[in-house]
Amino acid sequence: MDERIRNVVDVAFLPGFNTPTIAVLFQPQQTWSGRLKECKDNTSLFLISLDLVAKSYQVITEIENLPYDPLYLIPCSSNIGGVMILTTNAILHVDQASKITSLATNGWARRVTDTLIISEEPPSDVHLEGSRAAFLSDNDLLVVLVNGIVMHVHLDHEGRLVRKLTVEQQMGRCSPPSVLLVQNSVVFVGSLISRSVLLHSQTSEPDRNASLSADGYDNEIDIAWNSTKTRLTISPCDAIEDPGAFIKATFCLRPHGETSLVATSGLDTLGGFSIFNRRIPTRIKKKMPAIAGRRGIWSMRLDQDARSGHRSTASGLSSSHDDNILFSTDMNPAPGASRIASKSQARLDVNITNRLPMLTVAIAPFFSQSHLLQVTTNSLRLLTPDGLEKQAIKDTDGNTPRAKIRSASILDPYILILREDDTLGLFIGEPSRGKVRRKDMSALGDKKTRYLAASFYDDRLGCLKLDEGDARTSMSSPAPSPSHWLVLCRTTGIIEVAFAYT
């Protein structure tokens, strides 16, 4: 677009223009704090108008000699115009006429630049690295620092002319931000290391007898403006515990009128979108006490052709060849009860097709969705889709019963069980014989090894690769699909990842 544009710091679209217009913040020549005597004020800002029909562009504004340490820019509303630029030591407003209005946040601001005239010494030492900022209104900017301190920046303007920037640091705190999102009066602060909070802001007449909040974000954060004689109150209304890493986020309106939070997280093949809802919208609500399921309930899709003894050769899944099975289990009546139910064709209801007098630990489709594999507290059972037993394997050591099965992980054709004495058991299915057999686990360690947790991982994206020097690669038995892995956690805290061998 322009050979002078290099080392881009940030890019943003500007509102209020007839054609798409972007602001590009960049540094034609880079520098650092040790070279400020030779090179400072090396940042430039271009406002570029894009003509999508003619596929051309025009630089409508060029601002040079900005501070060397910009962090990001935020476009202002069309009522004011221009952009806000946050640097390490100052906050700037730059309009289309190249007028710069600045505010120092610490004493280093006047030492690292020659172009800005900052008339008064800042009242506090605030550094903006790691901060996030967003507009609450046309002239109110909310800044959350890396330590969670909330700042409010007010733009004193007359029309589109910004005369002064004022800031008042708050005593209240919220989570260290990774994402700051504002929509209407709702403020969302996403955090990598703490809970992400949802705040509500409102303006009101000040109460002269009230004082500012001085502790955590569970209290209200009050901001008094002498110029407008109003108060901005920010109060918490919701929180998400340990949501993971946010990169970007936005609010979206769902078809039923509910607002959801859409966030991006992860990198490369592990990246994706996460949607957060305050509650899961209910389409149909119906009480079905007959199936119960206080100790567990599973919904599975099975092949209906397996009921008649033949399999469909059609490729892909089709609703005409698949059936949803509902499996539930309870402790009472002793020694437990499990039920297999299917949907009713006549009305919105379920039909219980079979009852099993046992407690189920885990169950999943098996042998390409033609069977069910049920794990109880002391056995493994291969069932037909109707719940009839086809094979049963007691979990014993010879004739000696083992400890009860605490949990299980099923990944066709593998079954991994974890007992109450922290030992493991591995089983594998043989589709050609239609049977399940026990698998020797000596390759994973001796019988004295104890585990806290164990599970299968289906690596469909190919993120994990087997080490060529692994001793298991020399085994004579061929390895299965490399997407099947075992993830084990020992009682000592050691995590093991191994491929599911045959």
Using CA atoms, how far apart are residues 391 and 402, in angstroms rounded to an integer? Answer: 19
Instruction: Give the strands of the sheet with 221-225, arranged side by side.
Output: 179-183, 186-190, 196-204, 230-240, 221-225
- Give CA torsion, residues 172, 178, 182, 188, to 10 deg: -60
pLDDT at residue 502 is higher than 70: no
pLDDT at 472 over 50: no
Q: Identify the residue with better confidence: 252 or 303.
A: 252
Mean pLDDT score, 103-120:
77
Gyration radius of the chain's alpha carbons? 32
Share of the chain above pLDDT 70, in %: 80
Mean pLDDT of 19-36: 91
Dist. CA 25–CA 412, nearest whole Å: 53
Closest-CA residue to 122 (of 105, 147, 139): 105
For residue 46, what pLDDT band results from cuts at 50, 70 and 90?
Answer: very high
What pLDDT band is residue 249 in, cutting at 50, 70 and 90?
confident
How confident is the model over 180-223, as pLDDT tens digits?
888 878 888 888 777 888 888 877 655 555 444 434 444 444 44
What does the pLDDT look like over 154-191, one tens digit per residue?
A: 888 888 888 888 876 565 677 778 888 888 788 888 88
- The pLDDT tens digits of the residues spanning 256-303 come to 677 788 888 777 777 788 888 877 766 666 677 777 778 888 888 887
pLDDT at position 173: 74
pLDDT digits (tens, 9 = 90+) for 60-70: 999 999 999 99
pLDDT in the model for residue 211? 43
Residue 306: what are its φ and ψ, rounded to 5°? -65, -25
